Structure 1
Amino acid sequence: MNRQSASSSRRPRKPRWLSRLPDESATARLFCFPYSGCGASMYSRWPQWIGSIEVCLVQPPARQNRIAEPHYETYGALAAALVEEMPPYLDRPFAFFGHCGGALPGVELTRQLGEAGLPLPRRVFVSSQVAPHDGPYGRFLQLDEEALTGELHKMIVSLGGVPTPELVEMSLEVLVKDVEANKRYIVPEPFRLPAGVTAIGWSEDPEIPMDLMGGWPEATDDCRYALLEGGHFEFLDAPAALLAEFEHDLRTDEAVTA
């Protein structure tokens, strides 16, 4: 009893940048970045585990439980903060996932981890996003606040919420700053990521069609493409085909034989 109490008192606190403390029993970890204008709770329909792969949700500042904190402003600054925070949880195979604007923070973080000589992801999963040197690209980047407000209504409904004026106003401020961070991520020449990339497109996605994602092989020595069924927000429901892509590229020997 005393040993248990002592063990509990030494239990690490939940990392500020993650929605929960990673589980030590995981054989691999998938770190997921939120979509522009959203927080970690956007993954509420996702399982916490994909086999023995733990789904770890990244929670950037200026939203949800971190709403009082200032926005990160640039993907470079966001990645630099995560380089300081993440190493204790990179002690086993891991990967990054993000959709649309949410894919680029994982790309930049991978680049900075490589520069720092820190553990590297086995894979970077980029969904509905062009290669960095082909951007910034996306319809949202051209919209004014009125048009972004309309998109927020659609997004909140897609997440199963009710777009009340208060929620829309709060989310709009985050969305505008997230879009601005995307605009600032200018990569004139391709850089080589020190990790493989799985570029995921969606058959009914008018925002970033698969044929616009052809630049990823210039950014990595190991690029694999996957075209999945569905529209731009299909990923929110964690479709089985998407989870299979993670298992395909991230499973460990232990996970395969379990």
Structure 2
Amino acid sequence: MTWFRCAETRPWASMRLFCLPHAGGSAVFYRSWAKEVSPAVEVHAAQYPGRADRMADPFVTDAHQLARLLAGAMAPLMDRPTALFGHSMGAVLAYEVARLLQERGSAPVHVFASGTRAPHDRGEDRVAGRDDDAVVAEIVGLGGTDAEALRDPELRELVLPYVRNDFALIEDYAHRPGTRLAVPITAIVGDSDPHVTEEQAAAWGEVTDGRFALKVLPGDHFYLVPCQSDVIAEIHRTLEVPAAS
């Protein structure tokens, strides 16, 4: 099973944007981006194992291993300049993938790190070990999942195992010394995100020797849903590609 979903193939595109979802997320989270992003960009969204059309695939339980698998899956798609966008857990994975790609001589041109603390400044909150109701409450509180859907026992039974796996994966993640990133990073954060402050988001500048920018948009942890157009505009501006007409 392939690791990336491309809602709209663009053989003419000058650049590829790889999007990595949050904990409990899937490739469908980025499906609407293809319609709004520049024709010069082809969007590929990661589909982690154990969910959606990969429900039968075994979970990956280690963030560094997941980053290696993602980087390997990207290798055949690196025939043009590449940027990475990751939200929450996906931002940390994007950073680790970028380090691996840089080591292999195919560094991305930019990393967009959305809605999370820097890799070397992780929080102490533990959600993975809580009971089902508490895990659901955390997801609903973040604003990324429909609360009504999670009240459906059958759906909850399908969703909770991979949500719990993702929380454990990112909560067990530890930054390791090694390749220092030279890739420019843009950190983007909602101004009322309960899990990351502007100051914490700014610490992303400490993990790269490349340029760093911080963008603050209105909203909570999932600010990028109502602010999708603003996020995509920031990507266009940063990557210097023409906006969609």
TM-score, normalised relative to structure 1: 0.82
- Mapped contact 1:99–1:129 kept (Cα < 8 A): yes
Structure 2 counterpart of 1:61: 49
Retained in 2: the 8 A contact 1:206–1:232? Answer: yes
Uncovered stretches (5+) of structure 1, i.e. residues with no partner: 1-14
Query: 187, 190, 209: which one pairs with 2:197?
Result: 209
How many Å apart are 1:90 and its aligned residue? Answer: 1.6
From the superposition, tell whether residues 26 and 238 of structure 1 become closer, same or farther in structure 2 (CA, over 3 Å): farther
- SS of 2:154's equivalent in the other structure is helix
1:77 aligns with 2:60: no
**Bigger Rg over Cα:** 1
| Aligned match of 1:250 | 239
| DSSP 3-state at the match of 1:193 | coil
User: 1:191, CA displacement in angstroms?
Assistant: 5.8
Correspondence for 1:43? 30
Going from structure 1 to structure 2, the CA distance change for 1:101 and 1:140 (only over 3 Å counts) comes to farther
For 1:152 and 1:188, how far apart are their aligned partners in 2? 28
Q: Distance in 1 between matches of 2:193 and 2:182?
A: 29
Q: Give, in angstroms, the shift of residue 188 of structure 1.
A: 5.8
Percent identity among equivalent residues?
31
Shift of 1:58: 0.9
- 1:129-172 deviation per Cα after TM superposition (whole angstroms, max 9, x unaligned): 1111111x2646476133112234453217xx733222222211
What's the Cα RMSD here?
2.4
5+ residue gaps, structure 2, are none
Aligned to 2:94: 106
Q: Identify which of 154, 159, 164 aligns with 1:176.
A: 164
Q: How does 1:195-206 map to 2 (within 5 A)?
A: 195-206=183-194
TM-score normalised to structure 2 length? 0.86
- Indicate how the Cα distance of structure 1 residues 218 and 62 shifts in structure 2: closer, same or farther if over 3 A, else same: same
Size of the alignment, in residue pairs?
A: 237
Q: Do residues 133 (structure 1) and 120 (structure 2) align?
A: yes
SS in 1 for 2:235: helix
